């Protein structure tokens, strides 16, 4: 039962961080600019909108990869 308890603690910590991010994320200048980076594609016409956050996706992917790499190195 101990591994299950540790897993629930990690999941709870993750949800706590996500909650703090959603509440205070718009007040942090770097976070509030996500979605409006120069590599994000926006096409707006009269009856059509297309938005693809290409640069934001890459930035989040690199950040998560780095975070998971560091976490993996600390755990093992």
Question: Tell me, what's the pLDDT at 43?
Answer: 92
**CA proximity to 25, closest of 15, 37, 36, 17:** 17
Question: Tell me, what's the pLDDT at 36?
Answer: 83
CA pair distance 53, 30, nearest whole angstrom: 15
| Contact yes or no for 43/52 (Cβ under 8 A) | no
Question: Tell me, what's the pLDDT at 57?
Answer: 92
CA pair distance 56, 40, nearest whole angstrom: 7
**CA proximity to 68, closest of 10, 12, 9:** 10
Which residues partner with 52 through β-bridges?
41
SS3 28: coil
Q: What is the pLDDT along the chain (76 residues), one digit of tens a residue?
A: 788 888 889 899 989 988 887 788 777 777 777 778 899 999 999 999 999 999 989 998 999 999 889 988 887 7
Range of the domain at 43: 1-75
Q: How many domains does the structure of the chain reveal?
A: 1
Question: Tell me, what's the pLDDT at 42?
Answer: 92
């Amino acid at each position: 039962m101990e591994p299950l308890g540790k897993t629930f603690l990690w999941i709870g910590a993750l949800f706590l961080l996500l909650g703090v991010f959603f509440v205070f994320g718009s007040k942090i200048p770097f976070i509030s600019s996500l979605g409006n980076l120069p590599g994000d594609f926006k096409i707006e016409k009269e009856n059509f909108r297309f938005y693809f956050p290409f640069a934001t996706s890459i930035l989040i992917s690199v950040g998560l990869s780095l975070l998971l790499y560091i976490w993996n190195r600390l755990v093992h």
